[in-house]
Amino acid sequence: MLLGFVGDIGLIGGVQRRIIEYGVEWPFAEVQHVLDTCHILFGNLEMPFCPPGVEKAFAEGCESFRVPPECGPALKRAGFNILSVANNHIMDFGSPGLECTLEVLREHGISAVGAGTNLAQARQPVVLQHGDLNVGFLAYAMEGPHEAGSADAGAAPLKTEFVSEDVGRLREQADIVVVSIHFGMIYSGHPLEKDMQLACSAIDSGADIVVGHHAHVLQGVETYKNGIIAYGLGEFIFDPTVGNVYANIAREERRQSVILRISAGHGAVGIYDTVPLRSNKNLQPVLVRGSQGDTILTRLRQLSGDLPLIHEGKKQFLRSMGVSFVPYYAQVYWLHLKRMHLRFLLSRILRLRARHLWLFTGFMLAKIRAFRRTR
Give tens-digit pLDDT for 217-227: 999 999 999 99
Please provide residue 355's backbone torsions phi and psi, each rounded to the nearest 5 degrees: -65, -30
Q: Same domain, yes or no, for 115 and 26? A: yes
Predicted model pTM: 0.93
pLDDT at 368 (0 to 100): 87
Tens of pLDDT, residues 230-276:
999 999 999 988 877 776 778 889 999 999 999 998 878 999 999 99
Q: Return the minimum-mean-pLDDT range out of 39-43, 117-121, 339-343.
A: 339-343
Q: How many domains does the chain have?
A: 2
Does residue 213 surpass a pLDDT of 90? yes
Tens of pLDDT, residues 140-199:
999 999 999 999 999 999 999 999 999 999 999 999 999 999 999 999 999 999 999 999
**Neighbour tally for 342: CB within 10 Å:** 10
pLDDT at 229 (0 to 100): 98
Mark which of 286, 314, 342 sits at the end of a domain: 314
User: What mean pLDDT is predicted for residues 56-82?
Assistant: 94
Q: Same domain, yes or no, for 154 and 16? A: yes
Name the residue among 179, 285, 290, 284 with its Cα closest to residue 229: 179
Q: Same domain, yes or no, for 142 and 266? A: yes
Domain coverage including residue 35: 2-314
Q: Same domain, yes or no, for 233 and 354? A: no
Strands of 131-216 (E only): list them: 133-141, 154-155, 176-182, 209-213
Q: Same domain, yes or no, for 302 and 329? A: no
Q: Same domain, yes or no, for 337 and 258? A: no
Q: Same domain, yes or no, for 289 and 337? A: no
Mark which of 267, 295, 314 sits at the end of a domain: 314
Please provide residue 196's backbone torsions phi and psi, each rounded to the nearest 5 degrees: -65, -40
pLDDT at 158 (0 to 100): 97
Q: Is the dihedral of CA 2, 200, 98, 171 positive or negative?
A: positive
Mark which of 314, 332, 362 sits at the end of a domain: 314
Q: Same domain, yes or no, for 295 and 349? A: no
- List the CATH number of the domain containing 252: 3.60.21.10
Q: Same domain, yes or no, for 185 and 46? A: yes
Q: Same domain, yes or no, for 351 and 276? A: no
Q: Return the minimum-mean-pLDDT range out of 29-43, 102-116, 155-169, 330-344.
A: 330-344
Residue 171 CB partners (closer than 8 Å, separation 6+):
136, 177, 206
Q: Same domain, yes or no, for 257 and 120? A: yes
Categorize the per-residue pLDDT at 44 as very low, low, confident or very high, splitting at 50, 70 and 90. Answer: very high
Q: Same domain, yes or no, for 264 and 344? A: no
CA distances from 206 to 104, 173, 189, 290, 359 (A): 32, 12, 27, 38, 33
Residue pair 223/268 in contact (Cβ under 8 Å)? The answer is no
